[in-house]
């Protein structure tokens, strides 16, 4: 499988125009070392608009009662650089980036800014290849757990369960603590299961949560851990 094929499989899309995908993965630093070859900034601009619309529409549908200010704050959490970079790492986007020698040597393949920009550019490439619906489905798939929040009506507010797992990861890293471990069990009938998740840090349970999906339960557990006084 080609690198492009491997990435499209991880993204869960059937096809992306190879030239567009190559451009989406090309940083300006690589372009400047290769005769000014096309880079990803135009696609990034396009993908940013598609991503904004897809996220806004999803949040609007999840919580019809939320006012404009609440939706705007939730969206800002979801489309911020750190969140997009985390989603990019989920699909191992960094290993596909084309970077100039200096940028590559300085760890550019794992920089939040480059990963977030490239992810937006990939969304732009998918949009041009397959249209808005496919691109929006990709956005929702990439950000699913963060958008769904508590799994029962979406995020509760700007500090609620939206992106709680990422926020917990960042807080632990800032305090030089080990990363979180999630342990999930299931109960109830097959047609209406409930998932129960504990989040552990260094073997200690810091939060527990439940939900109708594993992702929702993990988000709830991470949110409880964030509120735990032991993390400050």
Task: Report helix, strand or coil for 209.
Answer: strand
Catalytic residue among 48, 96, 117, 163: 48
Q: Looking at the DSSP assignment, which residues form a beta bridge with residue 208?
A: 198
Smallest CA-to-CA distance from 131 within 53, 209, 200 is with 53
Q: Looking at the DSSP assignment, which residues form a beta bridge with residue 207?
A: 199
Smallest CA-to-CA distance from 27 within 96, 93, 97, 111 is with 97
Smallest CA-to-CA distance from 217 within 173, 178, 186 is with 186
Q: For the purposes of burial, counting CB atoms within 10 Å of the CB of 104, is it exposed (0-12), middle (13-18) or buried (19 or more)?
A: middle
Alpha helices in the chain (DSSP H): 3-11, 18-24, 28-32, 41-62, 68-79, 81-90, 101-105, 112-130, 132-148, 164-174, 214-227
Catalytic residue among 44, 117, 120, 198: 120
Greatest alpha-carbon pair distance for the chain in Å reads 61
Query: Is 120 a known active-site residue?
Result: yes
Place of tokens 């299961």: 193
Active site residues: 48, 120
């Amino acid at each position: 499988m080609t690198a492009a094929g491997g990435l499209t499989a991880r993204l869960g899309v059937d096809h992306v125009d190879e030239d567009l995908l190559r451009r989406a993965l090309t940083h300006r630093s690589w372009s400047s070392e290769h005769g000014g070859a096309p880079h990803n900034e135009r696609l990034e601009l396009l993908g940013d608009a598609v991503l904004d619309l897809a996220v806004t529409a999803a949040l609007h549908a999840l919580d019809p009662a939320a006012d404009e200010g609440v939706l705007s704050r939730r969206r800002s959490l979801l489309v911020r650089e750190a969140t997009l970079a985390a989603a990019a790492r989920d699909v191992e986007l960094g290993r596909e980036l084309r970077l100039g020698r200096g940028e590559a040597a300085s760890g550019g393949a794992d920089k939040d800014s480059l990963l977030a920009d490239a992810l937006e550019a990939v969304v732009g490439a998918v949009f041009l290849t397959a249209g808005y619906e496919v691109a929006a489905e990709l956005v929702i798939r990439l950000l699913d757990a963060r958008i769904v929040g508590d799994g029962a009506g979406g995020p509760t507010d700007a500090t609620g369960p939206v992106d709680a797992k990422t926020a917990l990861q960042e807080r632990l890293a800032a305090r030089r603590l080990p990363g979180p471990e999630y342990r999930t069990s299931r109960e109830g009938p097959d047609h209406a299961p409930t998932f129960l998740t504990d989040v552990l840090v260094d073997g200690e349970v810091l939060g527990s949560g439940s939900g109708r999906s594993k992702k929702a339960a993990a988000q709830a557990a991470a949110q409880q851990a964030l509120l735990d006084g032991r993390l400050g």
